[in-house]
Structure 1
Amino acid sequence: MSAAFASSSDSKMNKDNSNERTVDSVKKKSLGDKNKKSESNANGNNTIIKVKSVIPRRRQDLLKWYGWGYKDSMFKLEGNTASFTGNRYSICGQSLPFLPQWAIDNLGIDPARQPKIPEPPTNFPESILPDEVKAELEEIALVSKEGMDRLIRAHGQTLKDMTQLRTNSFPRIPDAIIWPESHEQVEKIVACASRHHFVIIPFGGGTSVSGSITCPVNEPRPIVVLDTSEMNSILWLDKEQLLARVQAGIIGQDLEREMRSRGFTVGHEPDSYEFSTLGGWVATRASGMKKNTYGNIEDLIVQTKVVTPRGVLEKSCCVPRISCGPEWEHVIMGSEGCFGVVTEVVIKIRPLPPVVRYGSLVFPDFESGFWFEREVARQRLQPSSIRLMDNEQFRFGQALKTENSWGGVLLDGIKRFYISKIKGFDPAKLCVVTLLIEGTAEQVDDREKKLNAIAAQYGGIPAGATNGENGYTLTFVIAYLRDVAMEYDVVAESFETSVPWDRTLALCANVKKRIQDECAKRGIDKFLLSYRLTQTYDAGCCIYFYFGHSTAQFSDPVTVYEEIEEAARDEIIACGGSISHHHGVGKLRKKWYKDTVSEPGRQLLLAAKKALDPDNIFALGNMAFDEQSNENTTVKSKL
């Protein structure tokens, strides 16, 4: 686990005010230290390291079946105060006295009423996988038809998924789950599916928010979910070449923990880092919070091995770059499980940075912070992570402050007085940039000095290292908010886009206005709308939107939310933004796929499908694909 994440999940907030750690000083427990690896050899390059994952095979024993994250971790509203349960995150065990009033003012929540926590279902649809096929699969790997095993692998984390789970109205679940442990077993499973024409859905961490792994509702064939979680070994580690070959089912926090114990890091930290898998990162073209230093997933991959119904797709050499026609590696990246199963990946690793330092900067308004980030990108001075939150997110952060702090980005009394009184910053407009800088002590000092100098040109002032760490690590806790919101009749979701620099401010303003107008048309006066700039590039940036509203007056609140988000997405497209930066297309964004890639691009996707999966075994129905068949291909089950 990275130094950043280890400190966020295992230290108590404000215990360490230095917010700078050398590698030797990072000795705090990780999320997974109660699940030690079963085998390890830090000296041998060719020793297989079988990892015992933090997440068990029976996910329902540790994770929520109806929402995000760990069962013991959740926000609780308790009259005039609130708290976050468990001991996994820095915010755990502390009183949050300002959250209830924020929820009342912004979302109309009544914190005094009992939350609607769902009961787990006891009845499940009968499996339609024939017993003789199940027996054939059991000759290959472990198979389960148990209802809860099937239900929690029927979906990702979309708002619709969570609502249908809570109302016990989930329309389609898989007929069986299978857990292969090797590439060879996956080959046998796919061959079995091709013989019998049942559907395979690859399943990693289940964190998709695009509907990409949700079972197709009208699929008449049996559906078998291929859970990759037992394929989590590090096959080899080359310390000289800084490469590792890893099975694709390994979970992010497990991979990072194992690498850190050997003095290395992968550096890929998406928001779903605790639960998402290496194979899932490949399948969705994922991006992490520290991509400025380590790159997005396409920058980290050297080679992939993929099992398709037509055979194994893999380059014959493992080289840093090749000029050999179109790069098929990039056909697999972003394919969303529609072509086959990623089984093994050769990835780049880096030595652990000697110093990890957090920081934060306060700006008088969002525009000032934006121009600061634009200049930092122009000079290519981005630290590992640099993120700008708007004023709404800043004020929401204040609602998560503890009794002894001021603001979600925590400012002590002197800084608060200086910012609001001497500098004249308006608390209703100011914005905050959080920073994470890695490198040698000299590199970190130099980068911090240059960033502060650029910030001063745009009216920004340093706001402390602790603020930066809390702002960075709060990302892992925010995902839990949707669950408690739903318990009090509020629906909420996030969506993102990438956009050129010259259109960013207009896009933010126009999307905000569009959502406000859509809410007004529907009589919604209690809602949350905010955004943050999360990743920067030479040519533009990623903008992340957060939107939620009260549902008390609606019989079908999810449809209302989806209508508003669709209008917001139309506005994003009209302003020059993309349909996604890293969430992918899935089933939710199919409407915009063709216009994004062009009709020839759509035909290329269909041609790849026909070449790799002509019988539509991987019938996920994502992107340009229908749920039951390819264009010009009719598929009927032989079962």
Structure 2
Amino acid sequence: MIEGVKQQKWWGWGEEGKAYRHEDKPKFAPFVKKMVGVDITLPVKPIRPFSSLEVPASQLSDELRGKLNTVVGGKYVQTDDETRVVHAYGKGVRDLIRVRNGKLGRVPDVVVYPGTQREVELLLAAALEADAVVIPFGGGSNIVASLEAEPGETRQVVSVNMGRLNKLLEIDEESGLAHIEAGVLGPDMEDQLNARGWTMGHHPDSFVWSTLGGWIATRSSGMQSDKYGDIADICRGLTMVMPGQVLTLRPLPSSSSGPSVREMVLGSEGRLGIITSAWVNVHRLPEVRELQAYFFPTYEAGLKACEEIVTSDATVMMARVSDPLETQYIMANGKKSGRVSSLANKAIQKLMLQKGWDLEKIALSFVGFEGSANHVRYEKGLVAKVVKNNGGLGVGKGPGTLYDQKKYDTPYIRDFMLDRGLICDVSDTSTPWAYAAEIHTLILDRFAKAMDDLGVRGLVFCHLSHSYHSGACQYFTFAIADDSDNQEATYDVAKRVIQQSFVDFHGTVSHHHGVGEEHSPWMEEDISPAGVYIQRKLFEGIDPGNNLNPGKIVHDGRPGVSSNSVDA
């Protein structure tokens, strides 16, 4: 461990000692039992000790070690087994299944922790001179296999942990821009900005364990993107260390300087270089921040309401709506209610029944408001009219407050489920509004058929998470009851069904999780063969030796979802 650099546990999400618990949520175990037939209250096997893993020995040469020691200092050149394993993969379901089973893949030979941009320049030069593979590493939260070396890689593999580059360097208050080092984790960045009265407003689900550089490298989006924009909107300039040179893009509001180099770097997943700092849009902390909850009689009504909110005069911070099954999941995750809360819930259900709603089809929505008190009051009025026009019902701030408090704990549920033989994962896409409802129905139907064909129980649910003028992102979560030796193959089938449905019906391969190796089999269907050709030529031109995170986004083999096997 390096002082000041946080590290996730080797076998799952987040920090040791923190986990999802169901005991204070009386409705959750019955919900899981009903949906997939698994009793989550039964005892589970403990996680195997790290000492039981057969970690391949480091192949770091004495020559490269000596050069890296000279660049960053010996304490920042780590070759111990646990550090290397933590940096060998991200936190995708496939990653977790393999590491829990002791299937480690190609583990990095060394993890290096640079503390300055100059050190990044020098260590990259040393690694390239040794013909090593270089993989940038932020918080390790990636779920699409963007962090692992290719199977069978014979060259030395260097993981570059950017955690020491974690400072707010400068705020241009007149322009609303901040210059920030790329290795900073979300909470640390916001703490530094908030202390000076500012916020970036970018809050992905992985916020606690992801970095500014990682957000840029994967084209991330946050929960509050309806107001603040995706990272592609927020990032205005950056510095990236490339082979033999340093790219510097000034923070300009816009430009007409030929094909956008900034856009080429966004989403490049380490294939063009190592991002060391960025200039980003920042905003004054709002006077008022409020989340309101609403119910709709159907998911389709909620989708329509979100579309109308986006095209209204309201500029909300977020507009989210969950389909019926996700709504049931959220309600099942609630803690035991007090008497007053219980009576209120019963009153709301009675009102829904009086309206003729089917409680199995209702959809829960959260809408976020920020700004001055007058502005928030005005926007809430606009949204209330949209909700009413779509048959919805407002239920106040209570559910939204609870969601706000627990929004970063969700990834811990995946470890809890894996402990109990349940494979859980997510996939996201965006479509034009015209196809939003239909693609949701299509995926639910295809997923159900695939699980029936496999003879396993599973479920999939969804929420709309980000809205745009022309369409929206829908975020699908699926869970499958399979604790057999075929877990990974079962996961492949589910993942392929969902991803193929995206590209079959006007969706993109990924809205904000990136491509990595998991999603690369669908790139030609997403952006056309010519689009993949352009990307390939870009990577080859910058990195002819294929040293920079090879195999991500486009590749010649079939790793990831179609790993060693199936057609996508």
TM range (shorter): over 0.9
Gaps of 5+ in 1: 1-52, 77-81, 84-94, 629-639
Distance 1:167 1:411 in 2: 47
Aligned mates of 1:194, 1:476 — CA distance in 2: 38
Aligned to 1:101: 30
Cα contact 2:429–2:511 (8 A) shared by 1? yes
CA offset at residue 267 of structure 1? Answer: 0.4
Asked if 1:527 corresponds to 2:527, the answer is no
1:131 equivalent in alignment to 2:65: no
Q: Secondary structure at the match of 2:90?
A: coil
Contact 1:201 1:226 in 2 (8 A): yes
Alignment of 1:76-155 (within 5 A): 76=21, 82-83=22-23, 95-122=24-51, 123-141=54-72, 142-155=76-89
Pair 1:56–1:216, CA change in 2 (3 A): farther
- Describe the superposition over 1:267-289 as per-residue Cα deviations: whole angstroms up to 9, x where unpaired: 01111111100000110011111
Q: State the Cα distance separating 1:574 from its structure 2 match.
A: 1.1
Q: Is the 8 A contact 1:150 1:174 kept in 2?
A: yes
Question: In the alignment, what sits opposite 2:5?
Answer: 57
2:239 maps to amino acid: K
Deviation at 1:120, TM superposition (A): 3.2
C-alpha displacement at 1:319, in angstroms?
2.4
Deviation at 1:564, TM superposition (A): 2.0
Q: Equivalent of 2:14, from 69, 86, 97? A: 69
Of 492, 500, 512, the residue aligned with 1:582 is 512
Give the match's secondary structure for 1:139: helix
CA contact (8 A) 1:246 1:346 kept: yes
Q: Paired residue for 1:428?
A: 360
CA distance in 1, matches of 2:143, 2:555: 18
Aligned match of 2:539 in 596, 606, 609?
A: 609
Paired residue secondary structure (1:140) = helix
CA distance in structure 1 between the partners assigned to 2:324 and 2:554 by the alignment: 38
Q: Residues 434-513 of structure 1: matches in 2 within 5 Å?
A: 434-513=366-445
Conserved 8 A contact 1:216-1:627 = no
Number of residues of Structure 1 aligned to a counterpart in Structure 2? 552
Moved over 4 A (4+): none
Give the residue type in structure 2 aligned to 1:68: W
Moved more, 459-468 or 505-514: 459-468
CA contact (8 A) 1:213 1:620 kept: no
User: Which residue number corresponds to residue 376 of structure 1?
Assistant: 309
Within the alignment, does 1:347 sit opposite 2:280 as a pair? yes
Residue in 1 that maps onto 2:566: none
Pick aligned residue for 2:327 from 391, 394, 411: 394
1:303 aligns with 2:232: no
Alignment pair present for 1:624 and 2:566: no
Partner of 1:633: none
Question: Quick one: distance in 2 between partners of 1:452 and 1:58?
Answer: 43
Task: Give the Å deviation of 1:598.
Answer: 2.3
Aligned partner (choices 537, 549, 554) of residue 480 of structure 2: 549
In 2: Cα distance, 1:413 partner to 1:371 partner: 25
Cα pair distance change 1:410/1:592, threshold 3 Å: farther
CA contact (8 A) 1:145 1:177 kept: yes
**1:154-203 CA distance string (max 9 Å, x none):** 11111110011111111211000000011111000111012111111000
Partners of 1:519 and 1:254 lie apart in 2 by 42
Greater shift, 365-374 or 506-515, is seen at: 365-374
Once residues 468 and 418 of structure 1 are traced to their aligned partners in structure 2, the CA distance between those partners, rounded to angstroms, is: 21
1:434 aligned counterpart, secondary structure: strand
Give the TM-score normalised by structure 2. Answer: 0.93
Shift of 1:627: 7.1
Q: CA deviation at 1:556?
A: 1.1
Could you tell me which residue of structure 2 aligns to residue 320 of structure 1? 253
The aligned counterpart of 1:246 is 180
- Tell me if structure 2 keeps the 8 A contact 1:620–1:627: no
CA contact (8 A) 1:415 1:463 kept: no
Equivalent position to 2:160, from 226, 251, 255: 226
> Aligned partners of 2:110 and 2:362: how far apart in 1?
52
Q: What code does the residue aligned with 1:558 have?
A: E
Residue-by-residue CA offset, 1:227-250 (whole Å, 9 max, x unaligned): 000011222122222211111000
Q: Distance in 2 between matches of 1:298 and 1:406?
A: 46
Change in Cα spacing, 1:415 to 1:356, as seen in structure 2 (3 Å) is: farther
Distance change (3 Å), C-alpha of 1:143 and 1:220 = same
Gaps of 5+ in 2: 559-568
* Pairwise CA distance, 1:517: 0.4
Post-superposition CA distance 1:487-520 (Å, at most 9, x none): 1111110100001100111100011000000011
In structure 2, C-alpha distance between the alignment counterparts of 1:377 and 1:406, rounded to whole Å: 37
1:321 deviation in Å?
Answer: 1.8
What is the alpha-carbon distance in structure 1 between the residues aligned to residue 117 and residue 557 of structure 2? 27
Q: Which has the higher helix share?
A: 2
Query: How far did 1:472 drift?
Result: 4.1
Q: Shift of residue 411 of structure 1?
A: 8.2
Partner of 1:192: 126
Moved more, 150-159 or 465-474: 465-474
Which one of the candidate residues 329, 350, 359 is aligned to 2:262? 329
Tell me the CA shift for residue 113 of structure 1.
Answer: 2.8
Q: How big is the shift at 1:421?
A: 3.6
SS of 2:408's partner is helix
3-state SS of the aligned residue for 1:545? Answer: strand
RMSD: 2.0
For residues 235 and 590 of structure 1, what CA distance do their matches in structure 2 show?
Answer: 35
CA distance in 2, matches of 1:623, 1:406: 53
Shift of 1:455: 0.6
Which residue does the alignment assign to 1:412?
A: 344
Q: Residue 71 of structure 1: CA displacement?
A: 1.9
Secondary structure in 2 aligned to 1:598?
A: helix
Distance 1:58 1:292 in 2: 30
3-state SS of 2:503 partner: helix
1:539 aligns with 2:470: yes
User: Following the alignment from structure 2 to structure 1, what is the Cα–Cα distance between the partners of residues 228 and 42?
Assistant: 46
Deviations 1:28-83 (A, max 9, x none): xxxxxxxxxxxxxxxxxxxxxxxxx9x94362xxx33211122222124xxxxx33
Percent identical among aligned pairs is 27
For 2:315 and 2:485, the matched residues in 1 are separated by 46
The change in CA–CA distance for 1:458 and 1:140 in structure 2 (over 3 A counts) is same
Superposed CA offset, 1:312-361 (max 9, x none)? 1123x442222111110110001011111001101111100000011011
Q: 1:432 to 1:332 in 2, by over 3 A?
A: same
Counterpart Cα distance in 1 of 2:193 and 2:140: 23
Which amino acid is 2:493 matched to? E
SS in 1 for 2:477: strand
Q: Secondary structure at the match of 1:388?
A: strand
CA positional deviation for 1:432: 1.1
Q: Does 1:201 align with 2:98?
A: no
CA distance in 1, matches of 2:343, 2:240: 49
2:224, 2:487 → 1: CA distance? 35
Amino acid at match of 2:270: G
